Structure 1
Amino acid sequence: MGETNVKLASINPDAQKARDLLRIVIVGHVDHGKSTLVGRLFHDTGSLPDGKYESIKAMCERRGVPFEYAFLMDALQAERDQGITIDTSQIWFKTEARDYTIIDAPGHKEFLKNMITGAAQSDAALLIIDAAEGVREQSRRHGYLLHLMGVRQVAVAVNKMDLVGYEQEQFDLIEEEYRDYLRSIGVEPTFVIPVSAREGDNIANGSKSMPWYKGPTVVKALDSFLPNAPLVDQALRFPVQDVYKFDQRRIIAGRIESGRLKVGDTLMFSPSNKTAKVQTIESWSAREDFTPPSEAAAGQSVGITLDEQIFVERGELISHVEEAPIETEVFKARLFWLGHEPLTAGKSYKLKLGTFDTPVTVQKVDRIIDTSDLSNSESEQVERNQVAEVTIRSRRMLALDEFTSNGRTGRFVLVDKYDIAGGGIISMEGYADQRAMIMATKSTNITRVEHGVSIEERARRNGHKGGVLWFTGLSGAGKSTLAVALEKLLFEKGYNSYVLDGDNVRHGLNANLGFSPEDRAENIRRVGETAALFQRAGMLAITSFISPYRSDRDRARAAAGDGFHEIYVKADVETCKQRDPKGLYKKAIAGEIKEFTGISAPYEEPDSPNLVIDTAETPLEECLETLVNYVERNFRV
């Protein structure tokens, strides 16, 4: 199955004992002094390797350039030549309180991809702003990206205070402006600190030049941050990277992203939904006297064998059965686009989700977010360096988590023409976890009853074939009105027809269901199966349901087979608001109804319906005539 780059290892509990470790990403506008600040931070905390400071000074003397603390970070020749940081650099340092990994991310606009990579790995952030230049567009963009990547602990260092004479007034203006901006996007900066990285003010030691500042130094601020919740305490997420065959063993290899597993655990493989127990945890190049580990945890690259031979592929996501990930073929995303060509609604890209990749389509660009003032705009495409909320659809079922539940499996990237062109975080707002639908069959020892009357015999007796006329559209589009009127006209023409209406079904068959995405999906699943029974009985089932999700309508189509006819009762939201026959839009706009389709929950228009009835443009009588003619053409024997 090909080679893999995982390294199998056993867990050594004693080796894992270490001081508290915090990952800090350093971000800021180009030339605001990030690398200088980090270099000074390392120097002032005594964290530099022996001789590093002296070697950099000697290098500067050889080149005839003045010493800069930035050179302690900018180790690449290209960075020194261009004067900008072009990649993320990770360096470890320590204070009395804990150990740190500093992730120095580039601030230049062209290298935002690297900055996002750094933020994705961090527990907290230190954001740099130039005291002389103040808050720039890039400063706001960086703040929004931190929010986008889920970084909630942020300290702001207002650097180069020496260039503005250490004036408190200038600092106060910047602090007020940037605090207001970060709060507006849901980020609370814990500290805003006036510093001079070049002179060492308020980095590791207090500043005599700014006696008016009473807060902590950068070091004390970082020491006050809390690490994210230990990954081992979260639900097990173990993406399959590869499968090997050694002697008689099939070893499933990968890196445990969160949680822990042990020998004997029953595992779920998603999205295939196969299950098996862990038989062994394997190690690489073990000594003959080595005792195999009995458990493994987050951060370990391991191999496992199972108690039965099931087919497992790269990309599957392993979990415990009780805490399985979401399964869906559609999700919403907050996305940052870095592609040279705009991201366009309707275009296909490659989605990379952990070790899994598959083609996906951008179903819709929901809105563009201006990171400078957080205003929203509508567009069919997302330009380079823009932030957007989009809806993404896959032809295959995906196994994933919402970012708020698990940051490791709630992030993704999009690839366009072999280049990583965008990335973002996953939200299932408005959409259902389809795992319950996929695994709905729980009964065993059941066999379908073969009827004594064939479908053809029923059609000859009735004079028409059975079928499902599936009316879908927004609330207020006219589905129920058309369905009831069509039922009467067909009855008069001798058809056996019956209307299954959303409100009526919820009074009986589905009285126990609410309006969450999961309950909506189950509501449509039951109706689809019921309508299919009507069809097999030789009747025309006319269903009137919003049925906002394509996946649910596809399941209803699968239940009814060729007899399923999707009819899109089309009307725009504004027309439906004006009609509002039940007063639902008014309540939804007022916030009295949550997750209302068209207002606070999505409606996915049919891709290729069998018939479109535009009630916003066409009179009722004309719509009914079109429907009757359609039935006569397709169902009359």
Structure 2
Amino acid sequence: MAYIMDTNEEERLKGKTVEVGRAHFETETTRFTILDAPGHKSYVPNMISGASQADIGVLVISARKGEFETGYEKGGQTREHVLLAKTLGVSKLIVVINKMDEPTVKWSKERYDEIESKMAPFLRASGYNVKKDVHFLPISGLLGTNMKTRMDKSICSWWDGPCLFEVLDRIEVPLRDPKGPVRMPIIDKYKDMGTVVMGKIESGTIREGDSLLVMPNKTNVKVIGISLDEHKVRRAGPAENVRVKLSGIEDEDIMAGFVLSSVANPVGAVTEFNAQLQILELLDNAIFTAGYKAVLHIHSVVEECEIVDLIEEIDMKKKKDADPKKKKPKRKPLFVKNGAVVVCRIQVNNLICIENFSDFPQLGRFTLRTEGKTVAVGKVVAVPPAGNPTFSA
């Protein structure tokens, strides 16, 4: 069944997802785009690319003995994926406990409850409101049980909750501004009687005939076609995954991470910015200080970066209890440890398109990775003024 989503030879030979698969389906009320992100730790950068475009996360957990435990233990992929999903803006999570039909599980309520009771505190610690934003349900992906329709009591006597499609239909996704400035991070491009770019519209509405900018190279382009789920449309709005055909630019002049942007209010293009970072877990013997190097993942951008200055360490406990009228002097650290929250200045070699998290969350949240491990998550808190891609000293 994985052949449906895993279409390249590497995936079919290895039996695991490598690229981010893309498919569409509709319920009676909603049209969904599935972004099938890889779960294997070697392909986390591809998972980040998929998750950065998603509104809802469906976290698939195996109920089979040993498989859940392997993903959940320290350093396991379940833990890293939950953390990345939250950081990348996936605000709603459905935890589907799969393989409940497996002979060693046999729709066991005890096994289901065990997994839910272990996952809930971890999800809470990762920033999710478990009561409001997380849904748990049992399924069998192999048999399709409890996915499209509610399962019969003869299969599972103790479950009287909804099926997966019901949960998907009920979830309220964050509203975006259809009248705002156009922001569409480009995840891929190809040539087809013109240049076609793919991505998810995060803000604004794109119409056939529009004049837009491809940033950061400031190229003026014209929209000559829009496709949605392989159907041609005249316009598309926020949260839509689209293919936009452009004139005025060649496909070799576009890279993943560029942003399709409105002319009147273009996205910022910078080589330096200030960020608030939470350090998760550094590699052994690593010190987080000025000069620290990592790989920055922000929307569809992947760039090497360097921490050039630690500005302030924030004590989150004291911040909660602090009197806002009493301003204390900033604590400028020389280095910080695991678990610290710090405001720092980050520098990259090439111009990248980002926004303040408070203005456009999807273009302002990011992760830092090094040697295949996520070491920090953060948000952009200050970008240089337009026309000046770096801060003055």
Could you state the TM-score of these two structures normalised by the residue count of structure 2? 0.61
Higher helix share: 1
In the alignment, structure 2 segments of 5+ residues that lack a partner are 188-194, 226-233, 314-333
2:35 and 2:50 in contact (8 A); partners too: yes
Give, as a single letter, the amino acid of the residue that structure 2 aligns with 1:174: I
Q: Tell me how far 1:356 sits from its aligned partner.
A: 8.4
Aligned-partner Cα distance in 2 for 1:267–1:85:
35
**Percent identity between the two aligned chains:** 25
1:271 and 1:317 in contact (8 A); partners too: no
Aligned-partner Cα distance in 1 for 2:79–2:340:
12
Does 2:167 align with 1:221? yes
1:402 and 1:426 in contact (8 A); partners too: no
Q: Tell me how far 1:122 sits from its aligned partner.
A: 1.4
Name the residue aligned to 2:327: none
Does 2:89 align with 1:150? yes
Aligned-partner Cα distance in 2 for 1:381–1:115:
27
Q: Secondary structure at the match of 1:110?
A: helix
1:269 and 1:317 in contact (8 A); partners too: yes
Q: Tell me how far 1:234 sits from its aligned partner.
A: 3.5
Q: Tell me how far 1:182 sits from its aligned partner.
A: 0.9
Q: Tell me how far 1:152 sits from its aligned partner.
A: 1.0
Note closer, same or farther for the CA distance 1:218–1:335 as it changes in structure 2 (3 Å cut): farther
Number of aligned pairs? 329
1:413 and 1:421 in contact (8 A); partners too: no
1:240 and 1:253 in contact (8 A); partners too: no
Q: Identify which of 262, 265, 274 aligns with 1:331.
A: 274
Does 2:138 align with 1:186? no
Q: Identify which of 117, 138, 141 aligns with 1:197.
A: 141
Name the residue aligned to 2:380: 428
Q: Identify which of 339, 347, 352 aligns with 1:393.
A: 347
1:331 and 1:426 in contact (8 A); partners too: no
Note closer, same or farther for the CA distance 1:406–1:79 as it changes in structure 2 (3 Å cut): same
Give, as a single letter, the amino acid of the residue that structure 2 aligns with 1:158: I
Note closer, same or farther for the CA distance 1:214–1:428 as it changes in structure 2 (3 Å cut): same
Aligned-partner Cα distance in 2 for 1:180–1:113:
26
Q: Secondary structure at the match of 1:161?
A: coil
2:49 and 2:299 in contact (8 A); partners too: no
Greater RCO, 1 or 2 (C-alpha within 8 Å, sep 6+)? 2
Aligned-partner Cα distance in 2 for 1:357–1:169:
43
Q: Tell me how far 1:216 sits from its aligned partner.
A: 0.5
In the alignment, structure 1 segments of 5+ residues that lack a partner are 1-68, 242-251, 285-293, 306-312, 368-377, 440-549, 555-637
Aligned-partner Cα distance in 2 for 1:269–1:86:
28
**1:477-496 → structure 2 map (5 Å cutoff):** none
1:105 and 1:118 in contact (8 A); partners too: yes
Aligned-partner Cα distance in 1 for 2:341–2:269:
23
Name the residue aligned to 1:173: 114
Give, as a single letter, the amino acid of the residue that structure 2 aligns with 1:106: P
Give, as a single letter, the amino acid of the residue that structure 1 aligns with 2:161: G
Aligned-partner Cα distance in 1 for 2:236–2:26:
28
Note closer, same or farther for the CA distance 1:184–1:435 as it changes in structure 2 (3 Å cut): same
Could you state the TM-score of these two structures normalised by the residue count of structure 1? 0.40
Give, as a single letter, the amino acid of the residue that structure 1 aligns with 2:379: S
Name the residue aligned to 1:443: none
Note closer, same or farther for the CA distance 1:259–1:161 as it changes in structure 2 (3 Å cut): same
Does 2:355 align with 1:410? no
Higher strand share: 2
Note closer, same or farther for the CA distance 1:75–1:303 as it changes in structure 2 (3 Å cut): closer
Aligned-partner Cα distance in 2 for 1:235–1:179:
38
Aligned-partner Cα distance in 1 for 2:301–2:81:
28
Q: Secondary structure at the match of 1:219?
A: helix
Q: Identify which of 29, 33, 37 aligns with 1:101.
A: 33
Note closer, same or farther for the CA distance 1:335–1:196 as it changes in structure 2 (3 Å cut): same
2:280 and 2:377 in contact (8 A); partners too: no
1:328 and 1:434 in contact (8 A); partners too: no
Higher Cα Rg: structure 1 or 2? Answer: 1
Across the aligned residues of Structure 1 and Structure 2, the Cα RMSD in angstroms comes to 5.4
Note closer, same or farther for the CA distance 1:212–1:110 as it changes in structure 2 (3 Å cut): same
Aligned-partner Cα distance in 1 for 2:9–2:282:
25
Does 2:204 align with 1:259? yes
Q: Tell me how far 1:193 sits from its aligned partner.
A: 0.5
